[in-house]
Structure 1
Amino acid sequence: MTGQFVLPFAAAGPDGDSDFLVTDSNRAVIDRLFDWTRLPFGAAVLIGPTGSGKTAIGRAFVSGSGGCFIDNADAENDETLFHAWNRAQVQGLPVLFAAERPPMRWDIRLPDLLSRLNASLLIEIPPPDEAMAALLLQKLLARAGLALPDALADYAALRVERSYPAIGLLARRIDEMALAMQRPIGQRLVRDALATLAGTDGGSPDTD
């Protein structure tokens, strides 16, 4: 598998991660976002589903730019968001807001705040490609102390729904099934985990 690189300024999170994954699926997003000196008004809004890497990207953004990151921005009050946006203008340091939905779908009551957020660069994380699906499965399972060989990661990536929530759910299913069976991950286990997502019985058994 190819396509992964690690930004040198990525910030370590509480789970011990020191990097986030970049493949062709999100490379343009990362390149645009981390060119923060060219962000309109020094502000950007990053949107994407749960599991798409918004928090890890935000930590790296802060570490590299010295700016501010507000995660789950749609749950923050208007005053907090308004002051963060204005502070970026005064201090000359960028601000990144992250949420699952664009600002027009947040519960914003201050018209001036909504206009400022709409003037910021809106960046949406695209669906994962095959390379991202395989790498993310390996990373999520590694957090649980499980090794997913490249061949099995590629096998699963070809068959799982191309969405971050689906990939996260598959990793949890593989983890649960490996724990229940008390054995290393093999093709049959991965196939059966995929089948649970599809609501099928997994077909005829394979050998591991």
Structure 2
Amino acid sequence: MTRQMILDLPVRQARGRDDFFVSPANALALATLDAPAGWPAGRMLLTGPEGAGKSHLAAIWAEAQEAPVLAARDLTDADAPRLARVRAAVIEDAQQTAAAGAEEALFHLCNLMQAEGGRLLLTALAPPRDWGLRLPDLLSRMEATALVRIAAPDDALLSAVLVKLFNDRQTKVPHSLIPWLVTRMDRSLGTARRLVAALDARAVAEGRPLTRAMAAEVLDSFA
């Protein structure tokens, strides 16, 4: 069998609102982010497992609010006044704040943003009690922050994400393959990303379309 060279081509990440599939797993989170005027103290923490759609939701909110997006690991003291002047910001992966030495910076950002009447959206894998925060005042601020969680994906969401991921890679798949995968894969959107990448790489390497037999072999390798 002839194998093709696998090129490291860029994957188009569709992050617009029209690309976000609403299901019972994420409808509450979307509705909460759509109403920032009601956030207590102007802050909201969006939590959920890896690949659940936190960054996608944050990108939708950031576009609507014209808000800068910054990873917690990159946050510095100099960023706090700059972001507060914009009166809207997204801090991604806030669970990395302590490890990145950014606790003081996030604490100042929270205070300045609230003083300016702005809105601060944070994303994280877990609630603040699990971040390892050592600064008591920041821990108090974060534990007082309203929280909304994206739940584990249901069949409809998992199916839609698989379709989106294949479309991002411009990979054609049989329609019957999606429900077949949903009933056999781990119920994780992070797994969905890795599975689609592996299936796409396998199809490109072998120079043939995706089949159920090929998908079964790839799934076995995930076990």
State if a TM-score over 0.5 links the two structures. Answer: yes
CA-CA distance at 1:197 after TM superposition: 2.2
Pairs within 5 Å for 1:105-184? 105-184=130-209
Number of the residue aligned with 1:72: 93
Runs of 4+ in 1 over 6 A off after TM superposition: none
% identity of equivalent residues: 31
The answer as to 2:82 corresponding to 1:61 is no
Aligned counterparts of 1:113 and 1:69: Cα–Cα separation in 2:
17
1:37–1:20 CA distance, 2 compared to 1 (3 A): same
Number of the residue aligned with 2:115: 90
RMSD of aligned residue pairs (Cα, Å): 1.9
Assess if the C-alpha contact under 8 Å between 1:36 and 1:65 holds in 2.
Answer: no
Number of the residue aligned with 1:100: 125
Aligned counterparts of 2:219 and 2:22: Cα–Cα separation in 1:
24
CA-CA distance at 1:74 after TM superposition: 2.3
Higher relative contact order (CA 8 A, sep 6+): 2
Aligned counterparts of 1:150 and 1:35: Cα–Cα separation in 2:
36
The answer as to 2:30 corresponding to 1:30 is yes
Assess if the C-alpha contact under 8 Å between 1:74 and 1:106 holds in 2.
Answer: yes
1:188–1:145 CA distance, 2 compared to 1 (3 A): same
Instruction: Tell me the alpha carbon deviations over residues 13-52 of structure 1, each in whole angstroms, 9 at most, x when there is no partner.
Output: x845323332222112211232211111111111222211
Assess if the C-alpha contact under 8 Å between 1:73 and 1:81 holds in 2.
Answer: no
Assess if the C-alpha contact under 8 Å between 1:62 and 1:68 holds in 2.
Answer: yes
The answer as to 2:52 corresponding to 1:52 is yes
Q: Could you say what secondary structure the match of 2:160 adopts?
A: helix
Unaligned 5+ segments in structure 2 are 1-11, 67-87
The answer as to 2:216 corresponding to 1:191 is yes
1:130–1:16 CA distance, 2 compared to 1 (3 A): closer
CA-CA distance at 1:90 after TM superposition: 1.9
Aligned counterparts of 2:45 and 2:174: Cα–Cα separation in 1:
36
Calculate the TM-score normalised by the size of structure 2: 0.75
Instruction: Tell me the alpha carbon deviations over residues 128-183 of structure 1, each in whole angstroms, 9 at most, x when there is no partner.
Output: 11111111112222222212343211221122111122222221221122122211
Instruction: Tell me the alpha carbon deviations over residues 95-117 of structure 1, each in whole angstroms, 9 at most, x when there is no partner.
Output: 11112121111132221111111
Aligned counterparts of 2:153 and 2:139: Cα–Cα separation in 1:
29
- Count residues in correspondence: 185
Calculate the TM-score normalised by the size of structure 1: 0.80
Q: Could you say what secondary structure the match of 1:159 adopts?
A: coil
Q: Which amino acid aligns with 2:171?
A: L
